[in-house]
Copies of this chain bind each other. A is one copy, B any other.
Amino acid sequence: MAGIPLDRTDLRMLDVLQREGRITNAELAARVNLSPSPCLRRLQRLEAAGVIAGYAAQVDPQAVGLGLQAFVRVQLTQHDSATIETFVQRVNAWDEVVDCYALTGDMDYLLHVVVADLDHFSRFLLDKLLNASGVADVNSSFVLRTVKHAGALPLAQLAGA
């Protein structure tokens, strides 16, 4: 996992693509002061190296009827590999869980949950989460407002080769 070296141009490309992922290669080239050919070759290199893991359309949750989001902190009863493995597998199978992180602190996991409404959340909580073995404690907080959703890493602060 050494990671490939990234120069200033690479970082500028990434910075642009984080915000406008469907921009044409021609315009991306113009933004970073390059002709289309080397720009495309750099892009393919970044994709092949996994620096760019993929591209995603950002869908408005409200528009598709998913109007409620919550963050659920979960504590497991035990921390042996079997318990963890089982929990992780279930989390990956649950569609409502968009993100899941293992954290330091008194709670083991943080789940970002997206659902249609309170009823939907209730079913998720009762039928899935609390039904899962190994779950000792659960603490739910609902999203009142999305204050910031950059969807972009702070590349500006990086020096780059």
Contact = CB atoms under 8 A, between A and B. Distances in A.
A58 interface: yes
A55 B56 contact: yes
**Stoichiometry (number of copies):** 2
A59 interface: yes
B153 A98 contact: yes
A135 interface: no
A55 B141 contact: no
Interface SS of A by simple majority: mixed
B66 A101 contact: no
A91 B147 contact: yes
A43 to B, nearest CB: 9
Interface of A: 1, 3-4, 6, 11, 14, 17-22, 49-66, 69, 71, 88, 91-92, 95-105, 107, 109-110, 114, 139-158
